[in-house]
């Protein structure tokens, strides 16, 4: 009988993950109904209800729009520059030496610590927030692209030189695709970091967006809206990550064929 | 004409120096088919990389028709030791790539690439990705991609090493035909004594530690050479001569154990 159950679970592994999440949520809901928690902790059903109400009032759409624009702009700028500089550093000793020290100094600084310093220059503005997000998104993209480029078989580049291809063509048509599997790993980390920094920069100064909404809900003691906002942040993160995962699966479709196995 | 004068190459590995190639003097006439034979680690690949301009000699010069080689060029097409196809492009897009680099429009490039794939017997695999091909098929695709550059010198690094004996003989005969119909100069590295004799006008034998040329001899089999030539009694003589040379050459301590066959 257990053998049967085992084989069912092996074929449909999602049953386990969904089942586990379901049990946790049910316990949580039960605990709030039984008032085991203080009443500022809402149960999952109440949170979803709150989320839906906020959505209908229209405030969520505005917040999500403002936040996503910030996060994705910062992500695009930071990770874009990160990938280009990382690949350049990967193939050129000069670039590597040029960036290495600066990179090593700035990388360990939690970027949020730079927020006040940048705010002195640009004020508590969107530019400051996007700058901080971009700076945070830069490092995972840079480091992974660098390692990706370092791992490229030099003979791949030689094939390009043999054909007399210009450097720009070799960069975009050989180096970039050859280091893409690793670069994409960096992009996914950068995206997650962008979302973290999005919320972090929005709770400070007069901002709009999800982070600001959370902070306001906290200050006004409307905890339902706070949880609704957190759920919105989570959903944005999951959906963006899924979108990026889908794009990279398409770009890396060749990788699934023969040769390299994906885990 | 290709001329190597006192060509040497050393690599720094940790704190010791690897003398991959020491003082090679060699002249190869245009249109010649030269095979290079030698144990693993004797510097065959390094020598070919210097001819291709991918690596610079530590000492000496490589000249082609009087011009010193300073870098890679389309006149010298290289087929690397294990096929270096772009795994993200289909086979036909791989072969079309050097044409696109030269400004050939995409459609025309695809047509030419189809013709080249037919030449190497891969006409059915244009839409496959390199990951879907066997090792030998990848080598043939890489050869087609190199031919797309229309080189005058073809540098081939153990291109048939991954093939089964039968396909290998077929490919040798195909290459022979291709070369005989063209005015290509071919420098062909192999571990296989019979292959070196059957293909070469000349066999250059290299020895190891340090890597150097220990023999350079002419193969007097008739041209044009077809499958018949394999039964020529002189082949046995050549074989035993080369066997003798290779058996007495010390084998590389760092060699990967590739067999001389
Ligand atoms: N980039 C490199 N750095 C350090 N050492 C190298 C490098 N390339 C080659 N060598 C060394 O130079 C020697 C000759 O190598 P090479 O690849 O030319 O040998 P080979 O004759 O082609 O061997 P095989 O038949 O196994 O392909 C070897 O000892 C090798 O370890
Ligand atoms: Mg080699």
* Domain edges within chain B: 1-75+152-261, 86-150
Tokens coding B120: 């190497």
* Rounded alpha-carbon distances, angstroms, from residue A250 to A131, A180, A255, B26, B233: 30, 12, 10, 50, 57
3-state SS assignment for residue B106: helix
Same domain, yes or no, for A32 and A82? Answer: no
Same domain, yes or no, for A32 and A52? Answer: no
What architecture is the B1-75+152-261 domain classified under in CATH?
3-Layer(aba) Sandwich (3.40)
Which of A5-14, A129-138, A149-158 is predicted with the least confidence, judged by mean pLDDT? A5-14
CA neighbor of A53 nearest in space, from A213, A180, A229, A184 = A229
Where does the pLDDT of residue B258 fall: very low under 50, low under 70, confident under 90, or very high at 90 and above? very low
Residue nearest to atom 14 of ligand 1 (CA): B43
- Cα gap A152→A159, rounded to integer Å: 12
CA neighbor of B50 nearest in space, from B5, B98, B101, B109 = B5
- Token pair 């429009």 is at which residue? B105
Q: If you measure from the C-alpha of residue B41 to the centroid of ligand 1, how many angstroms do you get, rounded to a whole number?
A: 5
Of the ranges A115-124, B192-201, B226-235, the best mean pLDDT one: B192-201
Residues of chain A neighbouring B98 (CB-CB closer than 8 A): 163
Among A177, A258, A260, select the one facing B132 at the smallest CB separation: A258
Which numbered atom of ligand 1 lies nearest the CA of B43? 18
Burial label, A7 (beta-carbon count in 10 A; 0-12, 13-18, 19+)? exposed
Average pLDDT over residues A18-28: 92
Which numbered atom of ligand 1 lies nearest the CA of B9? 12
List pLDDT tens digits, range A182-240.
Answer: 999 999 999 999 999 999 999 887 778 898 888 888 889 888 888 999 999 999 999 99
In the structure, which protein residues have their CB atom closer than 6 angstroms to any atom of ligand 1?
B 11, 13, 18, 20, 38, 40-46, 81, 211, 254, 256, 258
Q: Give the CATH number of the domain where residue A112 resides.
A: 1.10.3720.10
**Which of A162, A181, A248, A251 should one mutate to test binding to chain B, selecting the residue with the greatest count of B CBs within 10 A?**
A162
Judge whether residue A255 has pLDDT over 90.
no
Judge whether residue B260 has pLDDT over 50.
no
A185-203 in b/e form (b: 16+ CB < 10 A) is bbbbbbbbbbbbbbbbbbb
Residue nearest to atom 2 of ligand 1 (CA): B11
Model pLDDT, residue B163: 80
Residue B98 forms contact with A (CB below 8 Å): yes
Residue A254 forms contact with B (CB below 8 Å): yes
Same domain, yes or no, for A79 and A13? Answer: no
Average pLDDT over residues B118-133: 92
Q: If you measure from the C-alpha of residue B11 to the centroid of ligand 1, how many angstroms do you get, rounded to a whole number?
A: 9
Same domain, yes or no, for A176 and A258? Answer: yes
State the DSSP H helix or E strand holding residue B28, giving kind and residue range, or none if neither: strand B16-28
Is-cis flag, bond preceding B174, omega within 30? no
Burial label, A30 (beta-carbon count in 10 A; 0-12, 13-18, 19+)? exposed
Per DSSP, B250 falls in state P
Same domain, yes or no, for A1 and A63? Answer: no
List pLDDT tens digits, range A226-250.
Answer: 899 999 999 999 999 999 999 999 9
Same domain, yes or no, for A22 and A121? Answer: no
**Which of B56, B87, B127 should one mutate to test binding to chain A, selecting the residue with the greatest count of A CBs within 10 A?**
B87
Residue A151 forms contact with B (CB below 8 Å): no
Same domain, yes or no, for A135 and A173? Answer: yes
Count of CA atoms in the C-beta half-sphere (13 A) of B184: 26
Same domain, yes or no, for A86 and A159? Answer: yes
Question: Whole domain around residue A19: which residue ranges?
Answer: 1-37
Q: Are A192 and A237 in contact (CB under 8 A)?
A: yes
Hey, CA dihedral for A162, A165, A171, A172, is it positive or negative?
Answer: negative
More confident: B163 or B35 = B35
Model pLDDT, residue B189: 96
3-state class percentages of chain B: helix first, strand second, coil last, to nearest 5: 35, 25, 40
- Cα gap B36→B13, rounded to integer Å: 25
Q: Are A70 and A198 in contact (CB under 8 A)?
A: yes
Q: What is the mean pLDDT of chain A?
A: 89
* Rounded alpha-carbon distances, angstroms, from residue A143 to A5, A99, A102, A107, B7: 44, 11, 13, 10, 39
Q: Give strand pairing partners of B205.
A: B37, B215
Q: Are A130 and A74 in contact (CB under 8 A)?
A: yes
Which numbered atom of ligand 1 lies nearest the CA of B211? 14
Can you list the alpha helix ranges (DSSP code H) found in A12-151? Answer: 14-33, 44-57, 59-91, 93-106, 115-122, 126-150
- pTM, entire model: 0.85
Q: If you measure from the C-alpha of residue B41 to the centroid of ligand 2, how many angstroms do you get, rounded to a whole number?
A: 7
Domain count, chain A: 2
Q: Which residue of A has its CA nearest to B93?
A: A173
Model pLDDT, residue B88: 95
Judge whether residue A260 has pLDDT over 50.
no
CA neighbor of A157 nearest in space, from B72, B93, B62 = B72
Same domain, yes or no, for A229 and A160? Answer: yes
Same domain, yes or no, for A179 and A124? Answer: yes
Q: Are residues A174 and B86, on separate chains, in Cβ contact within 8 Å?
A: yes
Q: Which residue of A has its CA nearest to B133?
A: A258
Judge whether residue B63 has pLDDT over 80.
yes
Which of A3-7, A166-170, B114-118, B127-131 is predicted with the least confidence, judged by mean pLDDT? A3-7
Q: If you measure from the C-alpha of residue B227 to the centroid of ligand 1, how many angstroms do you get, rounded to a whole number?
A: 33
Same domain, yes or no, for A30 and A53? Answer: no
Same domain, yes or no, for A21 and A136? Answer: no
Model pLDDT, residue A1: 57
Average pLDDT over residues A124-150: 94
Average pLDDT over residues A95-121: 88
CA neighbor of B28 nearest in space, from B12, B48, B8 = B48
CA neighbor of A211 nearest in space, from A221, A198, A222 = A198
Residues of chain A neighbouring B101 (CB-CB closer than 8 A): 160, 163-165, 169
């Amino acid at each position: 009988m257990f053998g049967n159950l085992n084989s069912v679970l092996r074929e449909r592994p999602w049953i386990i993950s969904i089942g586990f999440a379901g049990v946790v949520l049910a316990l949580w809901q039960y605990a709030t109904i039984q008032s085991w928690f203080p009443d500022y902790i809402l149960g999952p059903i109440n949170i979803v209800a709150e989320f839906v109400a906020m959505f209908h009032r229209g405030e969520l759409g505005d917040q999500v729009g403002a936040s996503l624009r910030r996060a994705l702009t910062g992500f695009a700028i930071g990770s874009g520059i990160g990938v280009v500089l990382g690949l350049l550093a990967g193939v050129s000793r000069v670039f590597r030496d040029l960036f290495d020290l600066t990179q090593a100094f700035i990388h360990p600084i939690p970027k949020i610590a730079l927020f006040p310093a940048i705010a002195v220059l640009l004020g508590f503005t969107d530019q400051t927030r996007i700058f901080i997000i971009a700076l945070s998104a830069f490092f995972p993209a840079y480091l992974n692209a660098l390692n990706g480029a370092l791992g490229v078989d030099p003979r791949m580049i030689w094939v390009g030189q043999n054909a007399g291809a210009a450097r720009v063509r070799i960069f975009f048509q050989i180096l970039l695709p050859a280091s893409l599997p690793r670069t994409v790993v960096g992009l996914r980390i950068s995206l997650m970091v962008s979302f973290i920094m999005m919320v972090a920069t929005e709770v400070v100064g007069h901002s709009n967006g999800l982070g600001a909404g959370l902070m306001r809900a906290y200050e006004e003691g409307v905890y339902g809206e706070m949880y609704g906002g957190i759920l919105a942040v989570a959903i944005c993160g999951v959906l963006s990550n899924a979108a990026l995962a889908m794009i990279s699966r398409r770009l890396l479709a060749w990788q699934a064929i023969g040769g390299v196995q994906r885990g | 004409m290709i001329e190597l004068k006192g060509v040497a190459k050393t690599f720094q590995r940790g704190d010791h120096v690897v003398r991959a190639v020491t003082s090679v003097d060699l002249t190869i006439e245009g249109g010649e088919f030269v095979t290079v034979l030698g144990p693993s680690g004797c510097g065959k690949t390094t020598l070919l990389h210097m001819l291709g301009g991918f690596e610079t000699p530590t000492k000496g010069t490589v000249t082609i028709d009087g011009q010193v080689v300073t870098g890679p060029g389309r006149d010298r097409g290289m087929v690397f030791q294990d096929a270096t196809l772009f795994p993200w492009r289909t086979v036909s897009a791989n072969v079309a790539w050097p044409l696109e680099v030269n400004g050939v429009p995409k459609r025309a490039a695809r047509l030419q690439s189809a013709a080249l794939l037919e030449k190497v017997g891969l006409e059915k695999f244009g839409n496959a990705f390199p990951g879907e091909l066997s090792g030998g098929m990848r080598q043939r695709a890489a050869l087609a991609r190199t031919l797309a550059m229309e080189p005058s010198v073809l540098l081939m690094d153990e291109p048939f090493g991954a093939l089964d004996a039968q396909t290998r003989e077929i490919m040798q005969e195909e290459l022979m035909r291709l070369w005989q119909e063209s005015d290509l100069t071919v420098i062909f590295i192999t571990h296989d004594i019979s292959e070196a004799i059957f293909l070469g006008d000349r066999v250059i034998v290299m020895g190891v530690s340090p890597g150097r040329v220990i023999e350079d001899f002419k193969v007097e089999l008739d041209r044009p050479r077809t499958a018949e030539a394999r039964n020529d009694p002189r082949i046995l003589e050549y074989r035993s001569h080369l066997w003798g040379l290779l058996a007495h050459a010390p084998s590389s301590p760092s060699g990967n154990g590739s067999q001389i066959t």
